[in-house]
Copies of this chain bind each other. A is one copy, B any other.
């Protein structure tokens, strides 16, 4: 393991891929790996990119990554796709993206889908970001679809959150209401060669004038056409400006602590459940109880309270 981690710290892509796989699959040594990595983390700039399916997040993230690579920064991308819980992977229409073994050793891309792990997607994403951070990737771009609860947890990992919108959606105020105002440090109107850009911009400005942030940051609106790369340089300027604004801000340190608390509690939850299930429901006992619940012979509340009563810490 020592050698593997030495290779990782040196920036070796194969070592990085191996560590991430072990962490994702929760292999026996994964907790030991994470424990050893942990002191080497906390340095990377983590940038979250959120938006509905079809907003062009992937293209934008690819363009951002390319721009950072031109600055010779080692870039990590975590593309989170929580939507494939049923198939274990996207069905169709997914562009082929270079995975781990990309030709450019300074760029590492990892797609993540739900695998039905106990810990959930947010927990797995947190761990993968830690590994990338320890491997020296900086910035780390996290790409997520939509604004579900799990995703909001993922967004909380990011130092800076970019929300990607497209013209036309702004017709419907509901699109904007979706929790987006509270998480966006920067708005991007992508595909801005389409009609409706001004309308979208007005809608965002109106929402911004009504919302109030306590930290004094005014989220800028950047217009891009990600497929052509236009607007990406301006976006990077705004990211840098935002980053500088928050460099010594106590709110950000508060946010980091919040993320640490979240990770601690979700890990505790995951491990407690795993340990409890192993100890309390050996050999198919769980299936028997589930059958009884489905037949209304017992109920989950009684079952769980019994377990809690018997537990000792």
Contact = CB atoms under 8 A, between A and B. Distances in A.
A172 to B, nearest CB: 4
B92 A145 contact: no
A260 B304 CA distance: 13
A291 to B, nearest CB: 7
A92 B207 contact: yes
Nearest to A278: B313
A211 B91 contact: yes
Contact of A272 (B32, B211, B289, B308): B308
Interface residues of A, number: 90
A42 interface: yes
A177 B90 contact: yes
Contacts of A307: 268, 271-272, 313
Contacts of A217: none
A31 to B, nearest CB: 5
Interface of A: 31-32, 34-35, 38-39, 41-42, 52-54, 82-87, 90-94, 114, 120-121, 145-152, 168-169, 171-183, 207, 210-211, 253, 256-257, 260-261, 263-265, 267-269, 271-273, 275-277, 279-280, 286, 289-291, 293-294, 296, 299-305, 307-308, 310-313
5 contacts: A53-B172, A54-B171, A85-B152, A168-B168, A268-B273
Given A92-B177, A253-B294, A268-B276, 12 more contacts: A39-B296, A53-B177, A86-B179, A114-B149, A148-B150, A256-B294, A264-B293, A267-B301, A268-B304, A272-B272, A275-B308, A280-B313
